[in-house]
Each structure stands twice: as structure tokens, then as C-alpha cells.
């Protein structure tokens, strides 16, 4: 085997053999295949695609590059969820303890934010003392005692993907659907969960801007899960408008706790319950009612156990940014659009996100939303409150919001977009 022949096969629109795929992933992980050679292969895959057999083998090779976790010692079935990322997407925080309260074990390996999309670990690290880095033994202990764990993936899971992802990020090949799907699914399958529900976001604030691309990605990932023995379902969900009423780390934790306490924004509640029902069904738990577990406080109990087990103080005050700035409605009417991407970029510029993986984030930075599309607004009314510790960021954030919303005359018809757009199984 040699890298040039593998590159040429895909460059010329050929099908990579299982042997070629196994060799190139292993050799790249060991450093025998150079970054520039893997860059050329990734670009060829972006331009010419892969069939299902190739993607499945590519995923298997990335899984084989590292360890696989085993949760067979647990007394309950495992169910996990993965979101492709969005703005205000705090769903994992109430969802994991909710599903655990209904009888499943939830091993949730999560990531950090990059660019305009937030990261679950960044949000939880705004809780004093909470730890994202757990050993495999610690992760299993938290799962066993609390029922759910949210933590960072260890270096031993799919190391080939970690190396390839960093390369794709700087070579213009992030958009390759075969590589997106295998990247996500190699880590989830190696994680060892018995079932998986995918939340594939669609809209301006999502990676997939149109529903056809999102459907292709979701179908590819569902196929990969099926091929590797993991029961997998995908929901396509709207990300044209931010989820909930906050975008930012501590702000989103506060809102998630409101949901666990029986309140919170309706769109966050609806999506949390929709995903919980899918996770429970995939895990074979048919008789649990997640709405009841939210209402009776049992999901909150799991949240408190989970946070405490990972070193956090569930009663501690969350960080609050030192400075605020209000954005008001320029006219009276109906708010018809609030762009998720623009809100995400503004929150990022306020300090809630990072441009590079090593950048720090401000726990209290972000945006509060005071009106959502379909609601009446009055001239001078607060639409948004911007939060940051560094007020020199306000002007830069406000530039991102110059066309973030539309207000139509009072009486204008408004048809809301459903939160769940499609289901793929």
C-alpha cells in the first residue's frame, strides 16, 4: 500500500477497497502518511464522495484506531444523543438527567464551542468546581451512581478522528458529508452506547443550511449506526432561530435549570421532551413519561447528583458578566425573524465563544433574548441584552446584529416553523 495510489483512486472517482481504507487510516494515525497526503485524500472525498460501504469501513477503521468503552456492567440500557450544533442549544443539560430519571443510563460525551456554536462543556464549566475530564473508571462510576454523565471524550477514543478533524479544519474539507458522518459516528460507536438519537440542526445557525443536506447527513449517520449495531434515529430540527431565550455559557445553564424546575421556554421544553421520548424508545423503555419526570422533580434530582459527582456545586451562584448593553426595537409591530447565526456571532464576539480551540471563554458572556418571532413588540422595548466582562466588545458584537431581526407591521400574519422538521430511522 502507498498513499499516492489511494489518493489517485478517489481522485479518479474510484471506490476505495477495504484494505486501502484500513491501511490509510492506520498509517495516518501512526504518522506514516503525511498531512499533505491526507489533505489531498480528504479533498478528493469532498469532491467525489463515498458510497455506504466505503463510509462504513472508514468509520470502522477510525474506531479501530483506539479503544472502545464497555457499559455492559450497568444494570440499565444506555442511550446517548448527539447534536450537530447550534445557537442556544442547551438541550443536553436538561435532557441527560431527564432520560436518566426515566430509567436509562446516559453516557454523554460532549465537546467545546468553536465559532458561533456553543459547547456543552463550556456551559457546564461555568458551574464552580465541575470537571469535564474524567477517567473511564470515573465516568462509569458517575453513570452507575447518578444515571447520567456529561464529560469530555478521552484521547483513547478514535484518535484517528481527532487528528483528521484538525486537518479538515484548516484544509477546507470540513463540509464533506462522508467525513462529517464518520467523525461523529466513530466517537459515538467507540463510546459504547447501545442506542443513539441524533439532533441534526437545519437553518442559518446550523452547519447544514438546507434540509436536503441535513437529510443526507442524517441518513448517512443512521446507516452507519445500523451497520455497527447501534440503534440510531435522527430528528431534523430547526436552527433558523436561537433555541430558548439565552445564548452563552452561564446564561444557558441558568435556563436549563429553569426547565428542570418545571419552567423555561416552550421551545426548549418541546425539543427536550421530543428527544427524550426518542432516546427512551430506542433504549426499549416504553412505559416512562418524561413530561412527568420534569414535573415531579425527579429529573432535577438526577441533575444535582450528576453535577455533584463531577465535583460541581449545584447550589453555587453562577457567574454574571460585569457589563450589559440593551438592544431595543426600532418600531412597533410583529417580530418575524431573529437570525440564529447573527445572534451566535454576537455572543461569540462578546466572549462566550472562541476562535481557536485553545482560546478561553467568559462564563458570563452572552445574549438574553426578550422577544421571539411571532410576538408583538413596541418601539423602544428591549429585544436583546448583551453581557460581557469587557465592554470594548460591545461595538463589535453590535455589528453582527445590524440585520439580525425583522419587525413587520401589526396584524401581519406569522406562521411559526415547527421545532422538529423530520424524523429519519
Residue 187 annotated to the active site:
yes
The neighbouring-strand residues paired with 406 are 337
Catalytic residue among 10, 123, 187, 305: 187
Radius of gyration of the chain (CA): 22
Residue 82 annotated to the active site:
yes
Catalytic residue among 126, 183, 186, 195: 183
CA 143 to chain centre: 20
**What is the C-alpha to C-alpha distance for residues 184 and 200, in angstroms, rounded to an integer?**
11
Residue 337 annotated to the active site:
no
Strands 148-152 and 231-238: unpaired
The grid coordinates of residue 209 equal 443550511
**Which phi and psi angles does 185 have, rounded to 5°?**
-75, -30
Q: How large is the angle between the packed helices 266-282 and 249-260, nearest 10 degrees? A: 70
Residue 209 annotated to the active site:
no
How far are the Cα atoms of 7, 57, 118, 217 from residue 84, in angstroms, in the given order?
Answer: 29, 22, 11, 10
Catalytic residue among 10, 81, 82, 116: 82
The neighbouring-strand residues paired with 5 are none
* 139 in Cβ contact with 96 (< 8 Å): no
The helix, strand and coil proportions of the chain, stated in percent and rounded to the nearest 5, come to 45, 15, 40
* 389 in Cβ contact with 322 (< 8 Å): yes
14: Cβ–Cβ under 8 A, 6 or more apart, which residues?
none
Residue 168 annotated to the active site:
yes
Catalytically active residues are: 82, 161, 168, 183, 187
Amino acid at each position: 500500500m502507498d498513499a499516492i495510489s489511494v489518493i489517485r483512486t478517489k481522485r479518479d472517482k474510484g471506490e476505495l477497497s477495504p484494505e486501502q481504507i484500513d491501511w490509510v487510516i492506520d498509517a495516518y494515525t501512526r504518522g506514516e502518511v503525511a498531512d499533505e497526503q491526507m489533505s489531498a485524500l480528504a479533498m478528493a472525498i469532498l469532491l467525489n464522495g463515498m458510497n455506504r460501504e466505503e463510509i462504513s469501513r472508514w468509520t470502522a477503521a477510525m474506531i479501530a484506531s483506539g479503544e472502545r468503552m464497555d457499559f455492559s456492567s450497568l444494570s440499565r440500557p444506555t442511550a446517548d444523543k448527539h447534536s450537530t450544533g447550534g445557537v442556544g442549544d442547551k438541550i443536553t443539560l436538561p435532557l441527560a438527567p431527564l432520560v436518566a430519571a426515566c430509567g436509562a443510563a446516559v453516557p454523554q460525551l460532549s465537546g467545546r464551542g468553536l465559532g458561533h456554536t456553543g459547547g456543552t462543556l463550556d456551559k457546564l464549566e461555568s458551574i464552580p468546581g465541575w470537571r469535564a475530564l474524567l477517567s473511564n473508571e470515573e465516568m462509569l462510576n458517575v453513570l452507575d451512581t447518578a444515571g447520567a454523565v456529561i464529560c469530555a471524550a478521552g484521547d483513547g477514543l478514535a484518535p484517528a478522528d481527532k487528528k483528521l478533524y484538525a486537518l479538515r479544519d484548516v484544509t477546507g474539507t470540513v463540509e464533506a458529508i462522508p467525513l462529517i458522518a464518520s467523525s461523529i459516528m466513530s466517537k459515538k460507536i467507540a463510546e459504547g452506547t447501545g442506542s443513539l438519537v441524533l439532533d441534526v440542526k437545519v437553518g442559518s445557525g446550523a452547519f447544514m443550511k438546507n434540509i436536503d443536506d441535513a437529510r443526507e447527513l442524517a441518513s448517512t449517520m443512521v446507516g452507519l449506526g445500523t451497520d455497527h449495531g447501534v440503534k440510531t434515529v435522527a430528528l431534523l430540527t430547526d436552527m433558523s432561530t436561537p433555541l430558548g431565550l439565552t445564548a452563552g455559557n452561564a446564561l444557558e445553564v441558568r435556563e436549563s435549570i429553569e426547565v428542570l424546575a418545571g419552567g423555561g421556554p416552550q421551545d426548549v421544553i418541546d425539543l427536550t421532551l421530543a428527544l427524550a421520548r426518542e432516546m427512551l424508545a430506542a433504549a426499549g423503555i416504553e412505559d416512562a413519561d418524561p413530561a412527568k419526570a420534569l414535573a415531579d422533580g425527579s429529573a432535577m434530582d438526577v441533575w444535582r447528583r450528576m453535577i455533584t459527582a463531577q465535583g460541581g456545586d449545584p447550589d453555587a451562584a453562577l457567574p454574571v458578566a460585569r457589563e450589559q448593553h440593551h438592544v431595543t426595537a426600532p418600531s412597533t409591530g410583529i417580530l418575524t425573524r431573529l437570525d440564529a447565526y447573527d445572534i451566535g456571532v454576537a455572543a461569540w464576539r462578546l466572549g462566550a465563544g472562541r476562535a481557536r480551540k485553545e482560546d478561553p471563554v467568559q462564563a458570563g458572556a452572552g445574549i438574553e433574548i426578550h422577544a421571539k418571532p411571532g410576538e408583538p413588540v413596541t418601539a423602544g422595548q428591549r429585544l436583546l441584552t448583551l453581557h460581557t466582562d469587557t465592554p470594548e466588545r460591545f461595538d463589535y458584537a453590535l455589528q453582527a446584529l445590524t440585520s439580525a431581526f425583522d419587525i413587520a407591521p401589526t396584524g401581519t400574519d406569522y406562521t411559526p416553523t415547527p421545532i422538529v422538521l423530520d424524523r429519519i430511522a
